[in-house]
Amino acid sequence: MEHLFGIKKENLIENQSVAQLITEAVRSGSGTLADNGCLVIRTGKYTGRSPKDRFIVMDETTKDTVEWDNSNLGIEQNVYENLKQKVMDHIADRKMYLVKGRAGADPNHTLKLNVLCENPAQAVFASQIFIKDNQRTGYDADFTVIAVPSLLAKGAEDGVNSEAFIILNFTERLILIGGSLYSGEIKKSIFTVMNYLLPEKDILPMHCSANMSDDGRTALFFGLSGTGKTTLSADENRQLIGDDEHGWTDEGIFNFEGGCYAKAINLDPVKEKEIYGALKFGSVLENVVLDDQSKPDYEDDSLTENTRGTYPIEYISNAKLDGQGGIPDTIVFLTADAFGVLPPISKLTPEGAMYHFMSGYTSKLAGTERGITEPQTTFSALFGEPFMARPIVEYARLLGEKIERHNTDVYLINTGWTGGRYGVGKRMDLPKTRLMVQAAINGDLKNASYRHDRIFNLDVPVHIEGIPDELLDPKSQWADKEAYEKTARELANGFIKNFNRFPNTGEDIVKAGPSQG
């Protein structure tokens, strides 16, 4: 007997607990257990996402709504059909693990998911990263993911770029993932789906973390890798709503996920005690090396710097388990400016918030990537451009409308350098940055006095309790004031040059950015 994409009934493994799936993963050789109980898997050639291998099917649903660019590569229907048939043939006589989950903690805006995995370790991942939906009967779902890492495409012969392929079909509501065992492809494919569908409902999808105070004040934290998003949003005095993906309705915000997918490289049991403690039985470690005693070596990057730990959000002691929060009182954009010229904290107008949301600025540091010897400006619109299927300005306009409607405060916080660029100045002191964040999210800066930064067109508070006033003025921290001016203008021009790629943006947003140097 056959059902669900032609999989034989005896080959469809469903309704298994996480413990059962872990047992199956170890038994099958898909993973091993660390001494802390984590399931440890190696993803082989692909230790991160493969953006050049991710495609969206171009059809009547998507042709006029997707922003076709380097982040959203189109694929023709016939190419999709060919690969889909290969996937169907591949799973016809293969054991497949079915995980039923949901994306979206708000019951009014949730997607029922079926995730079919040939690898039981990936089934563990899917069980822990999505909201569990084990009580759902039948196979009806809003979206289905089929993950078959052992199926390799033939590159150009199959109309794709390599042996790996990630294909999203919004009409059939089906995602095909082949050739890659990196579990982040499953997670981010569903994130892309939410990012595409929700704006039609006037809901803003966001690549951010979120927490909430005991009195219901909600804060959002946006930031690219290395800016401190995870560290600064982890606050033992506030409940964690989620660490990565959220939606904003007119009633509040909601987490898309039921778990967390944290970077594990150089994980510190003191500074990141919540994450460290969450890595236990039921959690998954990707590409983390084990020592002779099966103890994870979080400093070992021999397989990749992109080591990951996945765990259900209930493993975090102060998690808000319903995954929902109120209307955001405060939004924090985090940037690590390695040029040392951005103020450590600035308050943004609604137009300025849209500008910096579309810019998504941070710096790549010397030594972090081969060939980089000087800090380099990096822009990723919406702080997550690779996952945003619609035109960038659509998301920015949604943000602007919501922060104006709800009087939400938005701050730009520089967690990077002060007193000079990287190699000359020093990194912002983390405790002082925490004080600035606290002042922002507690509402202490609502009625503060501000000075205007003429180069970056930013409003900078002149005093924050516990912070030396001079630290709030980056120019005063530079010994060479002319060098500061020159470097600041160079970065301002970098913003302007990047923003030129948004030619149809309103003048009100453009004027909210840095001035021409």
Show which residues are catalytic.
49, 188, 207, 225, 229-230, 244, 308
Q: Is 181 exposed, middle or buried (0-12, 13-18, 19+ CB in 10 A)?
A: buried
Q: Is 33 exposed, middle or buried (0-12, 13-18, 19+ CB in 10 A)?
A: middle
Strand (E) or helix (H) holding 437: helix 430-441
How far apart are the C-alpha atoms of 329 and 234, rounded to whole Å? 17
Strand (E) or helix (H) holding 188: helix 184-197
Instruction: Count Cβ neighbours within 10 Å for each residue of 483-495 and write b for 16 or more, e otherwise.
Output: ebeebbbebbebb
CA-based end-to-end distance of the chain: 70
Phi/psi for 295 (5° steps) reads -95, 130
- DSSP symbol at 471: G
Cα angle 206-209-213, degrees, rounded to a multiple of 5:
120
Strand (E) or helix (H) holding 434: helix 430-441
Sign of CA dihedral 182, 184, 188, 190: positive
Tokens of 243: 């660490």
Strand (E) or helix (H) holding 274: helix 273-278
Sign of CA dihedral 435, 436, 439, 440: negative
Nearest residue to 207 (alpha-carbon basis) of 50, 68, 388, 392: 388
Q: How far is CA 436 from CA 417, 428, 432, 465, in A?
A: 15, 11, 6, 9
131: which strand partners?
102
Considering just the CA atoms, what is the radius of gyration of the chain in Å?
23
Tokens of 420: 């000079």
Instruction: Count Cβ neighbours within 10 Å for each residue of 86-121 and write b for 16 or more, e otherwise.
Output: bbeebbeeeebbbbbbbbbbbeebbbbbbbbbbbbb
Helix, strand, coil shares, percent, the chain, to 5: 30, 25, 45
How far apart are the C-alpha atoms of 191 and 180, rounded to whole Å? 18
Tokens of 288: 């983390």
